[in-house]
Amino acid sequence: MPQLLSPLLADAVPEAVLTILKFGFLALVYLFLWQVVRVVMLELRPASVGGRSKNSPPVVKRTKNRAARIRIIEPSAHSGETFTVGQEITIGRGGACTVVIANDEFASTIHARIFPSNEDVLVEDLGSRNGTLVNGTAIQGIVALSHGDQVQFGQTVVEVIR
């Protein structure tokens, strides 16, 4: 556009041209905003795919692909409480964890996570002070769990049910 204008130009750009350019500029700005709104709308619509929370509880279909669970053994006050490893669960004293063990003074704020991967159930210590034990042995890195394994975080012990 500027190239087209240049032969017309004397010592100042004519006011009319500047006015046209001004409205062109504003139009461009609104074109941008309109495009943003379109993307936002697209973002919001398939939110049902991303916003899975609604679907999460019944997702654990009781078919052959049964999600693993963990059951608390110790402390006895919470014995028998069961959590489904449908997606990643975190264990720790912090209120942000899926399984909050606030009274366990030997556990860390975010102690460990247990998560499914394909057909496996894995546990990873998240840098806790006292470590995570599987069947009495402290783990390094990510460890696969099988049915009946006992996992210890601080003084809390859970059993894996698959």
Q: In sequence order, what are the residues at sequence separation of 6 or more whose Cβ sits closer than 8 angstroms to the Cβ of residue 43?
A: none
Least CB distance to other proteins at residue 41 (A): 11
Give the C-alpha separation, 37 to 160, whole Å: 47
State how far Cα 100 lies from the chain centre: 18
Q: How many residues bind other proteins (CB under 8 A)?
A: 51
* Residues in contact with other proteins, shown as a per-residue x/- string from 51 to 90 under the rule CB under 8 A: xxx-x---x-x---x--------------------xxx--
Q: Could you say which residues in the range 103-122 bind other proteins, by CB under 8 A?
A: 109-110, 116, 118
Should residue 19 be labelled a site residue for other proteins when binding is judged by CB under 8 A? yes
Least CB distance to other proteins at residue 162 (A): 15
3-state secondary structure of 29: helix
Give the C-alpha separation, 144 to 118, whole Å: 11
